[in-house]
């Protein structure tokens, strides 16, 4: 089995910051009737005091990418959500977002203002939340504050949302109808009851006031009334009871699970091992996964814990697929969490799926210039186009070799634009002087992931008459060699000049600035050699036409391409060398 530590460490790098928590309030719907926004605004102020990042939408509805918690509420009667807006809300929740739906009490004509919130939560829009706000109002003749329609809530489900709560005060609030998968978080006392808008129907069993549900990997919190956030000078419920603490729990991203997947949702696997797929899931803010109900499936085939389904620790697991499916290049594998819950059953989830695209092929070369196996008299660049349409190209892996010269993407002579890699040449530099057969090699990989990347090395060449131009400019007999190239601390430079007399050997950068002189003529008193002893290439003791020098670059020089220039009168021969610090 592959190293779990390697994969887990990569998984951690992909995880989003769990400390970030951005709350988005949808205020694009106006306000129902004569209802004031004081309670609602108090909530925003209090969350701001807690250091939360709050964004208020006033003109148009959208869900910012940084949104963790989305708050929707009842608005004006004719203000509805479009199909695309509801789809965006569902997609947000499905992928792990938190939706807080706030209604308004159902007495008199105000009940109609909750219709739109109920429509969003209903089965009619394509999901099943099990939540519906009733058109009634809660009364309590025994446990109330100021008047009977302001009941005190003492009963709480054991849950992170209701942790440490003792008493929460409500105003005139409706009850909530709850079906699976929803469940209540708070309920009224035995002395509480509800009355519908006609005052004709009294319900003594309608006592659920806050509820939670889920869809995909997201959570839906149903809040029956703005009044739970009431914060006024005359009735400061947030001060006297646990309403503030409830706000802290309800609007905390650390109260709900956060899933991390590797490969990520809609990601790509470019496995080098053609019959193996790793899929890893980690859950933060989870006490421990209840392995007795944990079920996953791949392409519809259900998999339970076993040799290929490993529980890594209390909050993460991995699936290794070898025999279940055939991994075909360009196709998608659907991975699903069919059932998962923590051991306390605070947050059960089910039916979450996403595709992983399979990429088994390395990048491909689509065009060359000059064309392979051709002959040409002149060229000023070499280019090759390379693409990887699925996983994407890892540009840091690109290595371009031309004869004995190696070029990387950060080389100033290299440009890379929209998949086209170009080496720019200059006739005066004579990179290929003396060469008739130009050999090229390109190495690159696609983007790495949980598997090894797909890499390839492609070799080709062409015949060049560029040497003919070089002969017209430079003496054919002069040859410069450099080893190693690229180099680090020093490079050994050889100059073979035959019967010609080389006057100096100098180093220039690509901007044409002379940075060093490694050999000079005795008459060149202005030149200063970086060698510790003078190296006269034209003296009587060295008339065999051969010279070898070692260059130690000055510490102030940076990495990059440098030119070795051997001069003989007006004739100059150059050799490119690459310095890597």
Backbone angles phi, psi at 418, to 5 degrees: 55, 45
Question: Tell me, what's the pLDDT at 236?
Answer: 58
Calpha distance 253→244 (Å, rounded): 16
More confident residue, 68 or 11: 68
Least confident of 189-198, 203-212, 257-266, 563-572: 563-572
SS (H, E, C) 45-60: HHHHHCCCEEEEECCC
CB 198 within 8 Å of CB 108: no
Q: How many Å is the Cα radius of gyration of the chain?
A: 36
> Considering only CA atoms, which of 156, 130, 145 is closest in space to residue 209?
156
pLDDT > 60? residue 559: yes
**3-state helix/strand/coil string of 222-279:** EECCHHHHCCCCCCCHHHHCCHHHHHHHHCCHHHCCEEEEECCCCCEECCCCCCCEEE
- pLDDT of 270 reads 65
pLDDT band of 271, cuts 50, 70, 90: low
pLDDT at 258: 93
Question: Is the predicted pLDDT of residue 299 greater than 70, yes or no?
Answer: yes
Q: What is the average pLDDT across 528-543?
A: 41
480-512 pLDDT, tens per residue?
Answer: 888 888 888 888 888 876 666 677 888 888 767
pLDDT at 431: 54
Given this model, what pLDDT does residue 65 score?
93
Residue 16 has what pLDDT? 35
* Contact assessment for residue 143 and residue 164, using Cβ atoms and an 8 Å cutoff: no
Asked whether 63 and 24 are in contact (CB, 8 A), the reply is: yes
Phi/psi of residue 414, nearest 5 degrees = -110, 135
Q: Which of 73-82, 170-179, 280-289 has the lowest mean pLDDT?
A: 73-82
Average pLDDT over residues 241-258: 90
How far is Cα 265 from Cα 333, in angstroms, rounded to an integer? 11
Quick: pLDDT tens for 401-424. Answer: 887 788 888 888 888 888 888 888
What is the predicted pLDDT for the residue at 342?
94
Mind listing the pLDDT tens digit for each residue in 39-88? 678 788 888 888 899 999 998 999 999 999 999 988 777 778 999 999 99
pLDDT at 178: 95
State yes or no: pLDDT of 534 exceeds 60.
Answer: no
- Token pair 């620790």: residue: 313
Which pLDDT belongs to residue 429?
47
3-state secondary structure 38-107: HHHHHHHHHHHHCCCEEEEECCCCCCCCCCCEEEEECCCCCCCCCHHHHHHHHHHHHCCCEEEEECCCCC
Q: What percent of the chain has pLDDT over 70?
A: 76
pLDDT confidence tier of residue 218, bands split at 50, 70 and 90: very high
> In angstroms, how far is CA 438 from the centroid of its own chain?
41
Q: What is the pLDDT of residue 229?
A: 74
HEC-encoded secondary structure of 276-301: CEEEEEEEECCCCECCCCCEEEECCE
* Rounded Cα distance, 139 and 367, in Å: 77
Alpha-carbon torsion, ordered 280, 286, 291, 292, to 10 deg: -140
- For every residue of 125-187, DSSP letters joined together read GT----EEE-SEEEEESSSEESEEEEEEE-EE-SSGGGTT---EE--S---EEE-TT-EEEEE
Lowest mean pLDDT among 6-10, 454-458, 461-465: 6-10
Coil, helix or strand for 397? Answer: strand
Running DSSP on this structure, what letter comes out for residue 30? -
pLDDT category at 456 given cuts 50, 70, 90 is confident
How many other CB atoms are there within 10 angstroms of residue 283's CB atom? 22
Domains and CATH numbers, the chain: 29-255 (3.40.50), 258-358 (2.60.40.10), 364-469 (2.60.40.1220), 476-579 (2.60.40.1930)
C-alpha neighbours within 13 Å on the C-beta side of residue 108: 9
- Mean of the per-residue pLDDT values of the chain: 78
């Amino acid at each position: 089995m592959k190293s779990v530590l390697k994969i887990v460490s990569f998984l951690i790098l992909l995880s989003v910051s769990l400390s970030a928590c951005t709350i988005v309030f949808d205020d694009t719907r106006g306000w129902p009737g004569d209802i004031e926004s004081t309670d609602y605004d108090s909530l925003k102020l209090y969350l701001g005091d807690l250091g939360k990042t709050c964004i208020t939408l006033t003109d148009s509805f959208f869900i910012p990418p940084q949104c963790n918690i989305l708050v929707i509420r009842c608005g004006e009667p004719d203000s509805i959500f479009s199909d695309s807006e509801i789809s965006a809300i569902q997609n947000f929740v499905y992928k792990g977002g938190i939706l807080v739906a706030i209604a308004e009490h159902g007495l008199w004509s105000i009940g109609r203002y909750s219709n739109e919130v109920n429509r969003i939560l209903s089965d009619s829009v394509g999901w099943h939340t099990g939540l519906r706000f009733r058109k009634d109002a809660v009364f309590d003749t025994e446990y109330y504050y100021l008047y009977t329609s302001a009941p005190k809530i003492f009963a709480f489900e054991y849950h992170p949302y209701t942790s440490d709560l003792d008493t929460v005060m409500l105003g005139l609030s409706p009850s909530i109808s709850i079906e699976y998968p929803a469940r209540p978080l708070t309920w009224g006392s035995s002395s509480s009851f509800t009355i519908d808008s006609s005052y004709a129907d009294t319900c003594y069993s309608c006592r659920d006031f806050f509820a939670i549900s889920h869809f995909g990997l997201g959570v839906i919190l149903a809040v029956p009334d703005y009044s739970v956030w009431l914060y006024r000078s005359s009735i400061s419920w947030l001060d006297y009871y646990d309403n503030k603490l409830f706000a802290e729990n309800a609007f905390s991203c650390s109260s709900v699970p956060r899933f991390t997947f590797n490969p990520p949702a809609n990601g790509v696997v470019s496995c080098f091992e053609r019959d193996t797929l790793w899929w890893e899931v980690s859950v933060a803010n989870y006490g421990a996964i209840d392995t007795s109900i944990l079920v996953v499936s791949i392409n519809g085939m259900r998999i339970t814990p076993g040799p290929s389904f490993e529980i890594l620790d209390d909050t993460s697991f991995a699936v290794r697929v070898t025999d279940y499916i055939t991994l075909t290049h360009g196709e998608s594998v659907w991975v699903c969490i069919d059932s998962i819950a923590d051991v306390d059953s605070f947050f059960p989830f089910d039916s979450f799926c996403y595709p992983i695209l399979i990429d088994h092929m390395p990048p491909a070369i689509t065009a060359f210039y000059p064309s392979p196996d051709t002959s040409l008299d002149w060229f000023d660049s070499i280019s090759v186009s390379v693409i990887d349409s699925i996983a994407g190209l890892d540009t840091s892996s690109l290595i371009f070799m031309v004869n004995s010269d190696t070029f990387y993407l950060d080389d100033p002579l290299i440009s890379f634009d929209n998949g086209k890699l170009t080496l720019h040449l200059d006739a005066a530099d004579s990179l290929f002087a003396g060469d008739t057969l130009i050999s090229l090699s390109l190495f690159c990989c696609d983007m790495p992931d949980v598997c090894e990347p797909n890499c390839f090395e492609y070799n080709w060449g062409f015949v060049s008459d560029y040497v003919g131009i070089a002969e017209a400019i430079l003496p054919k007999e002069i040859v410069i060699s450099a080893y190693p190239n690229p180099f680090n601390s020093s490079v050994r430079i050889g100059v073979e000049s035959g019967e010609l007399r080389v006057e100096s050997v100098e180093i220039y950068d690509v901007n044409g600035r002379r940075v060093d002189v490694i050999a000079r003529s005795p008459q060149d008193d202005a030149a200063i050699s970086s060698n510790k002893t003078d190296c006269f290439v034209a003296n009587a003791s060295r008339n065999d036409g051969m010279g070898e020098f070692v260059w130690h670059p000055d510490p102030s020089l940076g990495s990059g391409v440098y030119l070795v220039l051997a001069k003989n009168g007006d004739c100059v021969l150059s050799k490119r060398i690459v310095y890597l610090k």
